[in-house]
Amino acid sequence: MAREDASMRHTMPGVIFGGVRSILADMSLPAMPPPGFDELSPAEKLDYVQALWERAALHPEAVPALEWHREILAERLAAHRAGQGSRRSWEEARRDLLSRLRAAQR
């Protein structure tokens, strides 16, 4: 999929957010970013975004699962039930993730 011009993201039907079709695709969106946002410090911007996320997360049941999410989950569950794929304990997965993180920080 071609990357949309940033100026088009919030004005066209079928809005794209980070490559994922928004469930709010055909709704009017507020000004992006909101007035005053650009004047905030980086820490204040992160606090603002975190507060928005927490507000949106108050009612996760109100956010419908996207069809492609359901398809991926069904595929992975079928592969698991068929004994395909790798299996690791949480400890192994955590150790691997921490190792990758440390390597990326070097």
Average pLDDT by consecutive 10-residue portion of the chain (106 residues)?
A: 38 40 55 89 95 90 88 92 85 95 92
Taking the complete model, does pTM exceed 0.85, yes or no?
no
**CA gap 51, 74 in Å, rounded:** 32
For residue 26, give its domain range: 1-32
Q: What is the pLDDT of residue 106?
A: 86
In a domain, 104, yes or no: no
6: tokens are 């940033």
In a domain, 28, yes or no: yes
Q: What's the domain count of the chain?
A: 1
In a domain, 41, yes or no: no
**What is the DSSP secondary-structure string of the chain?**
-PPPPGGGTTTSSS-EETTEE-TTTTS----SSPTTGGGS-HHHHHHHHHHHHHHHTT-GGGSPPPHHHHHHHHHHHHHHHTT-S----HHHHHHHHHHHHHHHH-
